Protein backbone atom coordinates (compact mmCIF):
# COMPACT_ATOMS: atom_id res chain seq x y z
CA UNK A 1 0.00 0.00 0.00
CA UNK A 2 1.37 3.43 -0.92
CA UNK A 3 2.54 5.86 1.77
CA UNK A 4 -0.03 8.60 2.28
CA UNK A 5 1.40 11.90 1.08
CA UNK A 6 -1.10 13.75 3.27
CA UNK A 7 0.18 12.30 6.57
CA UNK A 8 1.73 15.47 7.99
CA UNK A 9 4.70 13.84 9.75
CA UNK A 10 5.72 11.45 6.97
CA UNK A 11 7.80 8.36 7.75
CA UNK A 12 11.43 9.50 7.36
CA UNK A 13 14.07 7.97 9.67
CA UNK A 14 14.20 11.24 11.67
CA UNK A 15 10.43 11.17 12.12
CA UNK A 16 10.58 7.53 13.22
CA UNK A 17 13.20 8.54 15.83
CA UNK A 18 10.82 11.27 17.06
CA UNK A 19 7.90 8.85 17.24
CA UNK A 20 10.01 6.40 19.22
CA UNK A 21 10.91 9.20 21.65
CA UNK A 22 7.22 10.13 21.99
CA UNK A 23 6.46 6.47 22.77
CA UNK A 24 9.13 6.49 25.48
CA UNK A 25 7.51 9.58 26.98
CA UNK A 26 3.86 8.52 26.84
CA UNK A 27 3.50 4.71 26.77
CA UNK A 28 3.50 3.75 30.45
CA UNK A 29 0.77 6.22 31.28
CA UNK A 30 -1.30 5.00 28.31
CA UNK A 31 -0.86 1.32 29.30
CA UNK A 32 -2.19 2.21 32.77
CA UNK A 33 -5.16 3.96 31.14
CA UNK A 34 -6.12 0.79 29.20
CA UNK A 35 -6.66 -1.26 32.40
CA UNK A 36 -6.28 -4.60 30.63
CA UNK A 37 -7.07 -7.83 32.48
CA UNK A 38 -4.72 -9.94 30.34
CA UNK A 39 -7.36 -12.02 28.54
CA UNK A 40 -8.47 -9.61 25.84
CA UNK A 41 -8.14 -9.56 22.08
CA UNK A 42 -6.97 -6.03 21.39
CA UNK A 43 -6.75 -3.90 18.23
CA UNK A 44 -4.64 -0.74 17.83
CA UNK A 45 -5.75 1.64 15.08
CA UNK A 46 -2.75 3.22 13.31
CA UNK A 47 -0.04 1.32 15.19
CA UNK A 48 2.92 3.23 13.71
CA UNK A 49 6.22 1.63 14.76
CA UNK A 50 4.33 -0.98 16.81
CA UNK A 51 6.13 -0.14 20.06
CA UNK A 52 2.98 0.39 22.12
CA UNK A 53 1.19 -2.58 20.55
CA UNK A 54 4.12 -4.86 21.54
CA UNK A 55 3.93 -3.59 25.12
CA UNK A 56 0.19 -4.26 25.13
CA UNK A 57 0.80 -7.82 23.86
CA UNK A 58 3.19 -8.46 26.77
CA UNK A 59 0.41 -7.57 29.21
CA UNK A 60 -1.92 -10.15 27.62
CA UNK A 61 -1.24 -13.53 29.22
CA UNK A 62 -4.03 -15.24 27.28
CA UNK A 63 -5.06 -12.62 24.72
CA UNK A 64 -3.46 -11.13 21.64
CA UNK A 65 -2.71 -7.69 20.21
CA UNK A 66 -3.15 -6.68 16.58
CA UNK A 67 -1.97 -3.40 15.06
CA UNK A 68 -3.34 -2.05 11.80
CA UNK A 69 -1.13 0.46 9.98
CA UNK A 70 -1.15 1.99 6.51
CA UNK A 71 2.56 2.58 6.02
CA UNK A 72 4.97 -0.12 4.89
CA UNK A 73 7.90 1.90 6.25
CA UNK A 74 6.35 1.97 9.75
CA UNK A 75 5.42 -1.72 9.60
CA UNK A 76 9.00 -2.51 8.54
CA UNK A 77 10.20 -1.25 11.95
CA UNK A 78 7.55 -3.07 13.99
CA UNK A 79 8.68 -5.69 16.54
CA UNK A 80 8.26 -9.39 15.68
CA UNK A 81 7.72 -10.51 19.28
CA UNK A 82 6.03 -11.54 21.51
CA UNK A 83 4.19 -14.34 19.68
CA UNK A 84 0.72 -12.98 20.50
CA UNK A 85 1.49 -9.81 18.50
CA UNK A 86 0.49 -9.29 14.88
CA UNK A 87 0.53 -6.38 12.44
CA UNK A 88 -1.73 -5.97 9.44
CA UNK A 89 -1.26 -3.46 6.63
CA UNK A 90 -4.51 -1.59 6.09
CA UNK A 91 -6.61 1.52 6.47
CA UNK A 92 -8.54 2.26 9.66
CA UNK A 93 -11.46 3.35 7.49
CA UNK A 94 -11.89 -0.22 6.18
CA UNK A 95 -10.90 -2.69 8.87
CA UNK A 96 -10.15 -6.14 7.43
CA UNK A 97 -11.71 -7.91 10.43
CA UNK A 98 -15.01 -9.65 11.09
CA UNK A 99 -17.78 -8.01 13.09
CA UNK A 100 -17.42 -8.40 16.88
CA UNK A 101 -13.87 -9.79 16.81
CA UNK A 102 -12.12 -7.68 19.52
CA UNK A 103 -12.68 -6.99 23.22
CA UNK A 104 -10.72 -3.72 23.15
CA UNK A 105 -10.04 -1.25 20.34
CA UNK A 106 -7.78 1.73 20.97
CA UNK A 107 -6.11 4.46 18.99
CA UNK A 108 -3.52 7.06 19.80
CA UNK A 109 -2.49 10.06 17.72
CA UNK A 110 -4.50 8.64 14.79
CA UNK A 111 -7.94 10.34 14.55
CA UNK A 112 -6.13 13.68 14.19
CA UNK A 113 -4.54 12.43 10.94
CA UNK A 114 -7.36 10.74 9.06
CA UNK A 115 -9.88 12.15 6.61
CA UNK A 116 -13.00 10.55 8.04
CA UNK A 117 -13.00 9.99 11.84
CA UNK A 118 -16.76 9.11 11.90
CA UNK A 119 -16.11 6.40 9.27
CA UNK A 120 -13.19 4.96 11.26
CA UNK A 121 -15.25 5.04 14.49
CA UNK A 122 -18.08 3.20 12.74
CA UNK A 123 -15.56 0.51 11.80
CA UNK A 124 -14.16 0.40 15.35
CA UNK A 125 -17.71 -0.06 16.65
CA UNK A 126 -18.38 -2.86 14.17
CA UNK A 127 -15.30 -4.93 15.07
CA UNK A 128 -15.85 -4.57 18.84
CA UNK A 129 -17.75 -7.28 20.70
CA UNK A 130 -20.85 -6.21 22.66
CA UNK A 131 -19.63 -4.54 25.88
CA UNK A 132 -16.18 -4.18 24.30
CA UNK A 133 -14.10 -1.16 25.32
CA UNK A 134 -12.85 1.73 23.22
CA UNK A 135 -10.00 4.10 24.18
CA UNK A 136 -8.42 7.07 22.44
CA UNK A 137 -5.67 9.52 23.26
CA UNK A 138 -5.59 12.47 20.90
CA UNK A 139 -4.88 16.18 21.27
CA UNK A 140 -5.90 19.72 20.51
CA UNK A 141 -2.47 20.85 19.54
CA UNK A 142 -2.90 24.55 20.25
CA UNK A 143 -3.41 23.86 23.99
CA UNK A 144 0.22 24.63 24.65
CA UNK A 145 1.85 27.20 26.91
CA UNK A 146 5.46 28.21 27.45
CA UNK A 147 7.08 30.42 30.04
CA UNK A 148 9.06 32.36 28.94
CA UNK A 149 6.72 32.64 25.99
CA UNK A 150 7.75 31.36 22.55
CA UNK A 151 5.90 33.59 20.03
CA UNK A 152 7.86 32.43 17.00
CA UNK A 153 7.20 28.78 17.81
CA UNK A 154 3.51 29.46 18.54
CA UNK A 155 3.18 31.26 15.20
CA UNK A 156 4.72 28.25 13.42
CA UNK A 157 2.63 25.83 15.50
CA UNK A 158 -0.59 27.57 14.42
CA UNK A 159 0.56 27.21 10.82
CA UNK A 160 1.35 23.55 11.48
CA UNK A 161 -2.23 23.09 12.75
CA UNK A 162 -3.60 24.84 9.65
CA UNK A 163 -1.48 22.60 7.41
CA UNK A 164 -2.72 19.51 9.23
CA UNK A 165 -6.32 20.58 8.58
CA UNK A 166 -5.46 21.47 4.98
CA UNK A 167 -4.12 17.91 4.51
CA UNK A 168 -7.45 16.49 5.66
CA UNK A 169 -6.68 15.89 9.35
CA UNK A 170 -8.00 17.71 12.41
CA UNK A 171 -5.46 19.36 14.71
CA UNK A 172 -8.20 20.05 17.30
CA UNK A 173 -9.89 16.61 17.33
CA UNK A 174 -9.06 16.20 21.03
CA UNK A 175 -11.86 18.44 22.28
CA UNK A 176 -14.35 16.77 19.89
CA UNK A 177 -13.86 13.19 21.10
CA UNK A 178 -17.00 13.04 23.25
CA UNK A 179 -19.15 14.28 20.38
CA UNK A 180 -17.56 11.95 17.84
CA UNK A 181 -17.77 8.79 19.98
CA UNK A 182 -21.28 9.56 21.16
CA UNK A 183 -22.45 9.96 17.56
CA UNK A 184 -20.75 6.63 16.73
CA UNK A 185 -22.98 4.89 19.31
CA UNK A 186 -20.53 4.33 22.18
CA UNK A 187 -21.86 4.64 25.74
CA UNK A 188 -20.44 5.17 29.25
CA UNK A 189 -18.10 7.76 27.80
CA UNK A 190 -15.55 9.29 30.14
CA UNK A 191 -13.18 12.07 29.14
CA UNK A 192 -9.92 12.85 30.93
CA UNK A 193 -6.59 14.59 30.43
CA UNK A 194 -3.06 13.26 30.52
CA UNK A 195 -0.86 16.25 31.36
CA UNK A 196 2.58 17.05 30.02
CA UNK A 197 3.99 19.43 32.62
CA UNK A 198 7.70 19.96 32.20
CA UNK A 199 10.16 22.32 33.85
CA UNK A 200 13.83 22.98 33.12
CA UNK A 201 14.87 20.72 35.99
CA UNK A 202 12.38 17.86 35.39
CA UNK A 203 13.64 14.60 33.87
CA UNK A 204 11.69 14.63 30.58
CA UNK A 205 11.87 18.35 29.82
CA UNK A 206 14.52 18.09 27.09
CA UNK A 207 12.87 15.03 25.52
CA UNK A 208 9.52 16.82 25.38
CA UNK A 209 10.98 19.92 23.70
CA UNK A 210 13.00 17.70 21.34
CA UNK A 211 9.71 16.02 20.40
CA UNK A 212 8.12 19.41 19.66
CA UNK A 213 11.06 20.45 17.49
CA UNK A 214 10.80 17.08 15.70
CA UNK A 215 7.09 17.65 15.09
CA UNK A 216 7.80 20.91 13.30
CA UNK A 217 10.79 19.49 11.40
CA UNK A 218 8.71 16.54 10.18
CA UNK A 219 6.45 18.99 8.31
CA UNK A 220 9.20 21.40 7.15
CA UNK A 221 8.97 20.54 3.46
CA UNK A 222 5.16 20.66 3.31
CA UNK A 223 5.02 23.90 5.35
CA UNK A 224 7.30 25.60 2.82
CA UNK A 225 5.89 24.02 -0.35
CA UNK A 226 2.33 24.94 0.57
CA UNK A 227 3.53 28.38 1.72
CA UNK A 228 2.25 28.14 5.27
CA UNK A 229 5.68 29.31 6.51
CA UNK A 230 8.79 30.78 4.92
CA UNK A 231 12.33 29.60 5.72
CA UNK A 232 13.02 32.48 8.09
CA UNK A 233 9.82 31.89 10.15
CA UNK A 234 10.64 28.19 10.34
CA UNK A 235 14.21 28.83 11.54
CA UNK A 236 13.10 31.41 14.12
CA UNK A 237 10.64 28.88 15.55
CA UNK A 238 13.23 26.11 15.81
CA UNK A 239 15.89 28.42 17.26
CA UNK A 240 13.45 29.75 19.84
CA UNK A 241 12.63 26.25 21.11
CA UNK A 242 16.32 25.32 21.17
CA UNK A 243 16.98 28.39 23.35
CA UNK A 244 13.94 27.56 25.51
CA UNK A 245 15.39 24.09 26.05
CA UNK A 246 18.50 25.67 27.63
CA UNK A 247 16.62 28.22 29.78
CA UNK A 248 17.11 27.41 33.49
CA UNK A 249 13.66 28.70 34.56
CA UNK A 250 11.60 27.36 31.65
CA UNK A 251 8.25 25.63 32.13
CA UNK A 252 5.72 24.28 29.64
CA UNK A 253 2.14 23.00 29.82
CA UNK A 254 0.19 20.69 27.53
CA UNK A 255 -2.44 17.94 27.96
CA UNK A 256 -3.53 14.97 25.87
CA UNK A 257 -7.27 14.44 25.47
CA UNK A 258 -8.42 10.97 26.48
CA UNK A 259 -11.72 9.18 26.19
CA UNK A 260 -12.93 5.72 27.14
CA UNK A 261 -16.27 4.09 26.34
CA UNK A 262 -18.21 0.89 25.83
CA UNK A 263 -20.02 -0.65 22.84
Residue closer to ligand SAM by CB (options 152, 222) is: 222
Instruction: Please say whether the beta carbons of 211 and 22 come within 8 A.
Output: yes
Residue nearest ligand SAM by beta-carbon distance: 48
Among 52, 60, 167, 237, indicate the residue that binds ligand SAM (CB under 6 A): 52
With CA atoms as reference, report the closest residue to 213 among 225, 224, 205, 203: 205
Least distance from ligand SAM to the Cβ atom of residue 30, Å: 8
In the complex with ligand SAM, which residue's Cβ is closer, 93 or 226?
93
Site for ligand SAM contains 152 (CB under 6 A): no
Among 114, 150, 177, 213, binds ligand SAM (CB under 6 A): 114
What one-character-per-residue DSSP string does 4-20 give? PTT-TT---HHHHHHHH
Residue 7: name the closest of 108, 106, 110 by CA.
110
Sign of the CA dihedral with 178 first, then 44, 54, and 62 last: positive
The yes or no reply on residue 48 touching ligand SAM (CB under 6 A) is: yes
Tell me the site size for ligand SAM, rule CB under 6 A.
Answer: 21
Asked if 70 touches ligand SAM (CB under 6 A), the answer is yes
Q: Which is nearer to ligand SAM, 58 or 61 (CB)?
A: 58
Q: Is 7 in the site for ligand SAM (CB under 6 A)?
A: yes
Could you say whether residue 164 binds ligand SAM (CB under 6 A)? Answer: no
Q: How far is CA 242 from CA 18, 33, 212, in A?
A: 16, 32, 10
Stretch near ligand SAM under the rule CB under 6 A, chosen from 66-74, 138-146, 204-212, 245-253:
66-74
Residue 71 engages ligand SAM in binding (rule: CB under 6 A)? yes
- The one-character DSSP state at 21 is H
Residue pair 103/133 in contact (Cβ under 8 Å)? The answer is yes
Mask for 183-222, x = binds ligand SAM (CB under 6 A): ----------------------------------------
Instruction: Give one word for 177, left, alpha or beta, with left for phi > 0 and alpha for psi -120 to 50.
Output: alpha
What is the bridge-based pairing of β-strands 41-45 and 64-69?
parallel
Q: From the centroid of its chain, how far is CA 94?
A: 19
Residues that bind ligand SAM (CB under 6 A): 4, 7, 19, 23, 46-48, 52, 68-71, 74, 91-93, 108-110, 113-114
Amino acid sequence: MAEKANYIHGVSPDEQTRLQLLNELTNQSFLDFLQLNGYEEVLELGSGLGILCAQVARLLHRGRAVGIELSKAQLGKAPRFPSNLEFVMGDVHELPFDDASFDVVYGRYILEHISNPPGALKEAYRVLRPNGKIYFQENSILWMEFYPSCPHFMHAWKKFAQLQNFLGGDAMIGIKLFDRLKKAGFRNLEISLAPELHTADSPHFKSWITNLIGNLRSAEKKLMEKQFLNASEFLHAINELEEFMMHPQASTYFAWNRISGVK
